[in-house]
Each structure stands twice: as structure tokens, then as C-alpha cells.
Structure 1
Amino acid sequence: MKPFEKFIMRHGISLPIMTAVFPVLYLGAEIGMIASGAVAAGSYIASTSTIKQFQFSSDSKRFHMTRSEYKHVRIQIKEAKAKIKQLQGHYYRVRSISYYKQIREMVRLGQKIIANVQQNPRKFYLAEPFFYSHLDTALELTEKYTHLIGQPVKDKELKIALQDTRDTLTSMIDVMEKDLKKVLSTDVEQLRMELEYAQMTLDKQDHQLLGAPPQTDSEGDMDHDRKSINSK
């Protein structure tokens, strides 16, 4: 279930509860409108929070993770998304097309990694260097390059530093591609196993068809008789 669907589910359950609690307290208990409204609102908050915790526990169990592990991965995903947005913020601060393409490629790779880990949090452990180091390095280099490229002075030393940064960013793209391959490795392996199983099933069916017993004369005579009857 997607986050938005979980949100709708929580509030779809909590809202009727609050709607039912208010008239019961106001009309039945006669504790006053303000007190009834406060208790009803409290029931709404408590219900939403309880359902959210249940959903959280259910998701952690589904991925065979402890609550603390699942929570840690979710935090890392949230922080990584924020860093990707920072990278995207450099799109319109540069004038070099090649540099723009470098940033766009890093953003694309980063989004792919985050999306895969968000879909299956256990894949986080295949891409820990991306979350703990590689994304930070890419962002830091991008910010420094953007700052330097905007300076009016362009002496030889600065040009060398800019070229070195561009080369390093190219290397970072290669590193992030490897991170993505690691994240996808389990999917590739699973697909390979499914293909092998499908091929084995097809081979078995072909073998059974080829090994079918030949038609006997009596069966042939019966077929001939059926054809003769049908032709009359």
C-alpha cells in the first residue's frame, strides 16, 4: 500500500469515529459542546496515531525488519530525497550544458536508487555507501563547483580546479551507477531464476508431448469409423 493510500485509510477510519463520538457525548453525556468537541478531536488524533503505528509495524514485519531498522531506513530515504532536491536546485545555476547533464544524470540515478529502496527497504543494505557517502560527496562537489563557476575571476588555477571537479563528478556518476546495479542485483537474480524455472517447465512439457504413446490400430479404426459416420 502506498503512503497516500495509507493516509486515506487512517483518516477514513478516524473521521467516522470522531463523528460518532461527538453526538454521543454532547447529547448522551451532556458534558457540553466544547468538552464534547475536545474529546471527539482527541479520539480522532488517538485513532489516527494508533492506526499509523499498526501500519508501521505491519510494514516492518512484511519486510522482515525490526521497527528500529525500518524507521532508520525511512529516515535515510527522507534525507536522501532532500539532498536530491538540493541537487536539482543547481539546474538553473549553471551555464554549461555538459555540467547540466552531469547533474541531471546524478539526480536520475539517485532517484532510481531511492525509489527501489523505498519499494523494498531491505535493499538499503545493498546501497549503504550511496546513502552514507556517495550522495553527500556528489552534493558537496556540485555546490563547490557552482560557487566557483560563478566567480568573475577565471585564472589558471581556478580553471584547473573546475576541470578536476568535472572529472570527479564524472567518476561519481560511475560510482552511482554501480550503486544502482547493486540495488537491482536481487531483482536480476530473481528474474533469472524465474526464467530458468519457466524454461524447465516448457522443456518438461515438450518432453511429455514428444514422449506421448503412438496411436494404436484400434484407435485409428475408431477414428476412421467416426469420420465415416460424420460424413453420412
Structure 2
Amino acid sequence: MNAFLSFLIRFVAAGFTTFLTWIFSFFIFDRSFFESFFYSLIGGTAVFFGLKYYIRHRFIKMTGLTRSEYKLVQRNLKDAKQKIQRLQKALFNISNIRDFINAKHNIETIRVVKKIYSVTKKEPVRFFKAEEFYYKHLDSMVEIAEKYSFLSSQPVKTKELNQSLQETRQTLTQLSNVIKEDLYNMLEGDLDSLQFELDVARQSINQKKIDDGRFQK
């Protein structure tokens, strides 16, 4: 469930519970104003955090993961979010015109990285299909991109530095292709399912054309 929607549901339910508890305590059970307020606050707080636990528990159950697996995924997502921010900053910290030629490639790389992150956040179970991305490829991409950004920003470039930049750019391109493979592996099951549905649809269309041809004869 969307985090904001979850918070809104809990907030409304807690507010409603707080109001009803105060009404019952003050008017029906004849408690004092402050005593009723205290009870209503306890009731509202219990509902707010109780719903939070229930919604999270239900979501984890729907993912098919254990609680420890879910926590592992969330911890890696938190780390990945910071790394993606660093990667985005490094790739777009461009200092010369030759790098602008690669801007489109950098944007595509960020788009793929964010797609892997968003798919994992929406469906945590997919994390285990992209473990290499989270444990290896993303770290390498961030480290190399930051070094490339630093070196390319130097005002004076020697022959050795230009060669190093070229090699680093090639490595970034290779890593970008590897990350695209990570995304493909993550979505492979969906792609196979889609291909199967397309094949079935084509067979149905072809069969309909054959049947229509026979009918016209």
C-alpha cells in the first residue's frame, strides 16, 4: 500500500477513535474532561500504531517473504536510495562539452537504476532476482562514476588523464549494460508471460481468420 495512503487511513481511524472515546468517557461514563481526554489519547494512539503493525504485517504476508527477509530488503533499499542519489549527482556533474554528448546515455542509466529500485520497492520479493545489482553492480557504478566526475572536472588534463577518462567512460558503459541485464533478469518472468499471452492472442486471431474464411466459402 502507498505510504501516504496508509498514513492517511491510520490518521483518520485514530482521530475517529479519539473522538468517540472522549464522547463515551465524558458523557456516558461521566468521567472528567481531562480524564476523558487521557483515555481518548490512549485509544487513538493504540489504533494508530495497531493499524500500522496490521498493514505492514499484511503487506509482508502478501509479498511471500518472511519478516527477516522483508527487513533485509528494506535495509538494502534504504542504502540503495542513498547510492542512487550519489550516482545521479556524479553522472550529471558534467564539466566539458564532450561529456554532454554522453548525457543521454547517463539519463538512460539513471532511468534503469531507478526502475530496478522502484520495482523492488513495489514488489520486495524481486530483490532476490537482482541481488548482484544491490550488492555489487550499483556500488561499482557509484564509485567509478564519482571518480570519473572528479577527474573530468580537473582544469588541466594530461595525456595520461585523458586516457584514464576514456577507459573509465568505457567501463561505465559496460557497467550500464550489465545493469540493463539486471533489470532484464528481474523482469524475465513477466516477459516470458507476456510472450506467452501474445502467442495465444496471435493463435486466436489466426484461427478466427481461418474460421471466417471457411464461413465465407
Give the TM-score taking structure 2 as reference length: 0.82
- Give the superposition deviation at 1:203: 7.4
Closer/same/farther in 2, CA of residues 204 and 56 from structure 1, 3 Å limit: farther
Q: 1:65-84 residue pairs with structure 2 within 5 A?
A: 65-84=65-84
Q: Which moved more, 1:8-17 or 1:85-94?
A: 85-94
The answer to whether 1:63 aligns with 2:66 is no
Q: Distance in 2 between matches of 1:191 and 1:184?
A: 11
Q: 1:189 aligns with which of 155, 170, 192?
A: 192
SS of 1:153's equivalent?
coil
Q: Which has the larger radius of gyration?
A: 1
CA positional deviation for 1:199: 5.4
CA deviation string 1:148-170 (max 9, x = no partner)? 22223322222222111111100
Q: CA deviation at 1:81?
A: 2.4
Q: Does 1:118 align with 2:134?
A: no
Q: Give the aligned residue type for 2:150.
A: H
Q: In structure 1, what is the equivalent of residue 166 of structure 2?
A: 163
**Structure 1: distance between partners of 2:210 and 2:143:** 60
Which residue is 1:40 aligned to?
A: 40
Give the conservation status (yes or no) of the 8 Å contact 2:133–2:179: yes
- TM-score in terms of structure 1 length: 0.77
Q: Write the distance in 1 (CA, Å) between the matches of 2:118 and 2:166.
A: 32
Unpaired segments ≥5 residues, structure 2: none
Say what the alpha-carbon RMSD is for the aligned residues: 2.8
> Which residue is 1:107 aligned to?
110
Q: Which residue of 2 aligns with 1:17?
A: 17
Q: Measure, in 1, the Cα distance between the counterparts of 2:61 and 2:141.
A: 34
**Which residue identity lines up with residue 45 of structure 1 in the other structure?**
T
Q: Which runs of 5+ in 1 are unaligned?
A: 213-232
Distance 1:149 1:38 in 2: 62
Counterpart residue identity of residue 185, structure 1? E
**Identity of aligned pairs, percent?**
30
Offset from partner CA, 1:179-219 (integer Å, 9 cap, x none): 1111110101122333344456667878999999xxxxxxx
1:151 is paired with a residue whose SS is coil
Q: Which residue of structure 2 lines up, in the alignment, with residue 215 of structure 1?
A: none
Question: What amino acid is aligned across from residue 18 of structure 2 in structure 1?
Answer: M
Mapped partners of 1:137, 1:105: distance in 2: 17
Aligned length: 212
CA change 1:151–1:205 in 2 (3 A) is closer
1:94 corresponds to 2:94: yes
Answer whether contact 1:87 1:103 (CA < 8 A) is retained: no
User: d(CA) in 2 for partners of 1:210 and 1:104?
Assistant: 50
